[in-house]
């Protein structure tokens, strides 16, 4: 206890501030760039006035805002599919013993051991063949290969920490399994669902390789649009920075909404 | 509340080599507080699940008031259960939890019933709160209320409900439970491995051992007339003393000394007596007087449990050949060394092949 007190008031505090500055500096840089004109950034004029022109460009140019829409839609589809599929699967792994359950559970993780690039070619051919290429659904399904196993693992941990007597109690109380699952069990593990949503969202939102390969012009995600902002007059630094700032926002929003569950969820995970 | 009858009830888990429960017969009367006492692995949880209907009966029947409910779903049986650790639906308030099990009853009656039961258990003040904010004891009281609140409950099962409670709360919880049981006239089956809980809670106790009910009797009868060695040993703190003996000439003998009269076929037997039925006295070292009913022992030590009026009462431990003997008596003046063990001949029990030889002279 004393050591912690000392760290709070002494040198440890400064270390913490330094670390905070280290983390915040790129974000600050990005925000400041996004509020300046290109001329100001590359330093050809001395004009350093604030401008919202870069943001205006993003919200008025369809290339930019459809990029955001595409990204958000495949991330949302991915998160919904992952959680919906993983909930019953995790329940089965947590509550039932069946032949090969442990092997299957481990096998889920092996998918995560391969880098996404491994799956590029098969996915590209598959989605081209079935006509899903260049749709948000294609990216969402491809991301599911990684987020579903992850979700099953996370949720299984949370479900196994709920005593089995809750299930038995519900059966004695005369509730059907679906009713029990939706009305009693899900509210009990809502922290776990929060954590799962967070991880699915984060994976899908920042993933670039699959998202770029599986989309053409129609479903181009924001991260891809950002890598293609080179015009005849050079790179549009200001707009790029504004897009970067806007890309951080949804992540912040998700963390904000599930923050209570995240803290609780991570604490639970640490205990068990 | 119902009368519960088990008829030749057996159960074997799929793939298991032996029956978990083998041919149980038991009648629990309407309004009786019954305890199932057994160590872990004795099959009590399986029996509990059969009674609640979580497991389907394979062989034999379960009758509630004469109705065969072996294949009836838990809810239709009207069984409720209190688990080791309080189980409540976290997403609802305590009141909602209680009302939730009475969904087939009109609203007004429901809230009256909730208030009534909550009052009896002293949890009215926490009715509006979520279970997460309650203490363990409050949660378990709420779980007990949940089990009792539904009108027309035929049987209440209690699965070691005091496990989670602190020792100082156990006694209070058990008293609450017991008085509520009497007030409501509820048929209760209390499952536990703790004999103190079983003996103090129940009107009658069934001792379950390796899937068989060895004895069903009042707590007093279990102490005084156990029908099986295991019952004698398992019930009582410390358990019954068991000595290797022999039956001949109409009496039972240990180490060549006749301890009591018995009419049974000659042969080896186990001689059992409770620590309260015997006493150990000091003897001067070299004297070995072969008096009836008295065995020479070596006193190993004593443990004082209470002291009153200068007399210390407690346990005396002595060796008799290979066996250890424990008595409960006054310890004043008792020292390690040679001693005499005398056993009340009226109460000595003889066992053969585990079972008590009943034909006492």
Domain layout of chain A by residue ranges: 61-271
**B230 and B259 fall within a common domain:** no
Supply the CATH number for residue B153's domain: 3.40.50.300
A171 to B87: CB separation less than 8 angstroms, yes or no: no
* Å between A189 CA and nearest CA of chain B: 10
Higher pLDDT, residue B164 or B348: B348
Question: What proportion of chain B, given as a percentage, has pLDDT over 90?
Answer: 25
Q: How far apart are CA B327 and CA A257, in angstroms?
A: 67
Residue range(s) defining the domain that contains residue B98: 4-234
What's the rounded Cα separation, in Å, for the pair A123 and A41? 40
Bridging pattern class, strands B251-254 and B188-192? unpaired
Check whether B146 has a pLDDT greater than 70. yes
Same domain? B217 vs B249: no
- pLDDT at res. A271: 42
**Per-residue model confidence as pLDDT tens digits over B224-276:** 899 999 999 888 888 899 999 999 888 888 888 888 888 888 889 999 999 99
Say which of A172, A183, A188 has its CB closest to residue B52.
A172
Whether B225 and B85 map to the same domain: the answer is yes
CATH code, residues A61-271? 1.10.3720.10
Contact A174 B74 (CB under 8 A): yes
Closest CA to B299 of B254, B333, B269, B274: B333
Contact A184 B73 (CB under 8 A): no
Task: Kindly identify which residue of chain B lies nearest to residue A180, measuring between CA atoms.
Answer: B89
pTM for the whole thing?
0.78
pLDDT tops 90 at residue A78: yes
Same-domain pairing of B226 and B273 = no
Partnered with residue B302 across adjacent β-strands are B316
Over residues A111-125, the mean pLDDT reads 84
Please list every residue in chain B whose beta carbon sits closer than 8 Å to the beta carbon of residue A184.
Answer: 89, 91
Contact between B118 and B124 under an 8 Å Cβ cutoff? The reply is: yes
CB atoms under 10 Å from CB of A69, counted, come to: 15
Q: Which residues of A touch B75 (CB under 8 A)?
A: 172-174
As a residue count, chain B comes to 361
pLDDT tens by residue, A79-110: 999 999 999 999 999 999 888 888 888 888 88
Q: Which residue of A has its CA nearest to B104?
A: A174
B227 lies in the same domain as B280 = no
| Residue B361 lies inside a defined structural domain of this protein | no
Question: Same structural domain for residues B101 and B197?
Answer: yes
Instruction: Quote the distance between the C-alpha of residue A184 and its chain's center.
Output: 27
B247 and B226: one domain? no
Residue A162: closest C-alpha in chain B: B87
Q: Which residues contact B324 (CB under 8 A, 6 or more apart)?
A: B300, B317, B318
pLDDT in the model for residue A230 = 64
- Determine the distance in angstroms separating the CA of B12 from the nearest CA of chain A, rounded to an integer: 18
pLDDT at B183 > cutoff 60: yes
């Amino acid at each position: 206890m004393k050591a912690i007190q000392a760290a709070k008031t002494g040198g440890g505090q400064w270390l913490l501030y330094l670390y905070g500055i280290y983390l915040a500096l790129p974000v600050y840089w990005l925000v400041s760039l996004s509020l300046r004109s290109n001329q100001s950034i590359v330093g050809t004029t001395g004009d350093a006035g604030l401008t919202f022109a870069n943001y205006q460009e993003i919200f008025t140019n369809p290339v930019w805002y459809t990029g955001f829409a595409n990204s958000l839609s495949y991330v949302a589809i991915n998160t919904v599919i992952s959680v919906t599929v993983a909930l019953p699967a995790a329940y089965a792994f947590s509550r039932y013993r069946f032949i090969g359950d442990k092997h299957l559970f481990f096998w889920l993780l092996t998918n995560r051991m391969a880098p996404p690039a491994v799956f590029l070619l098969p996915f590209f051919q598959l989605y081209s063949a079935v006509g899903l290429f260049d749709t948000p659904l294609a990216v969402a399904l491809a991301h599911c290969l990684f987020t579903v196993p992850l979700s099953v693992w996370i949720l299984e941990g949370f479900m196994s920490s709920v005593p089995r007597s809750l299930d038995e109690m519900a059966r004695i109380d005369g509730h059907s399994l679906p009713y029990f699952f939706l009305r009693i069990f899900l509210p009990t593990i809502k922290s776990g669902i929060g954590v799962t949503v967070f991880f699915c969202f984060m994976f899908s939102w920042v993933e670039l390789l699959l998202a770029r390969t599986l989309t053409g012009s129609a479903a181009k995600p924001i991260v891809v649009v950002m890598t293609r902002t080179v015009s005849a007059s050079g790179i549009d630094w200001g707009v790029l920075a504004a897009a970067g700032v806007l890309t951080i926002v949804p992540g912040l929003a998700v963390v904000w909404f599930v923050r209570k569950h995240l803290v609780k969820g991570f604490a639970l995970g640490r205990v068990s | 509340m119902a009368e519960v009858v088990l008829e030749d009830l057996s159960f074997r888990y799929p793939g298991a080599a032996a029956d978990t429960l083998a041919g149980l017969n038991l009648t629990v009367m309407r309004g009786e507080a019954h305890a199932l006492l057994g160590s872990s692995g004795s099959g009590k949880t399986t029996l509990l699940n059969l009674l609640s209907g979580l497991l389907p009966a394979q062989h034999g029947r379960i009758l509630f008031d004469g109705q065969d409910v072996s294949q009836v779903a838990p809810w239709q049986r009207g069984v409720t259960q209190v688990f080791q650790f309080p189980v409540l639906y976290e997403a609802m308030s305590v009141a909602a939890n209680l009302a939730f099990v009475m969904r087939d009853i009109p609203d007004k009656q429901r809230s009256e019933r909730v208030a009534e039961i909550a009052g009896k258990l002293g949890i009215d003040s926490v009715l509006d709160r979520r279970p997460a904010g309650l203490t363990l004891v409050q949660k378990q009281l709420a779980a007990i209320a949940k089990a009792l609140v539904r009108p027309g409950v035929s049987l209440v099962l209690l699965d070691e409900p005091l496990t989670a409670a602190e020792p100082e709360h156990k006694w209070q919880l058990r008293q609450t439970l017991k008085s509520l049981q009497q007030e409501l006239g509820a048929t209760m089956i209390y499952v536990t491995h703790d004999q103190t809980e079983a003996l103090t809670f129940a009107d009658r106790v069934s001792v379950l051992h390796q899937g068989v009910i060895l004895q069903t009797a009042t707590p007093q009868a279990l102490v005084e007339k156990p029908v099986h060695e295991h019952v004698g040993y398992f019930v009582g703190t410390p358990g019954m003393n068991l000595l290797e003996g022999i039956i001949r000439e109409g009496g039972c003998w240990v180490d060549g000394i006749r301890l009591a009269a018995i009419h049974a076929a000659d042969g080896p037997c186990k001689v059992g007596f409770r620590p309260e039925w015997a006493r150990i006295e000091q003897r001067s070292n070299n004297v070995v007087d072969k008096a009836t009913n008295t065995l020479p022992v070596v006193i190993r030590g004593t443990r004082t449990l209470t002291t009153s009026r200068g007399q210390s009462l407690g346990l005396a431990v002595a060796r008799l050949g290979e066996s250890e003997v424990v008595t409960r008596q006054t310890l004043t003046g008792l020292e390690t060394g040679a001693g005499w063990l005398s056993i009340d001949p009226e109460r000595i029990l003889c066992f053969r092949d585990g079972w008590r030889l009943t034909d006492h002279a």
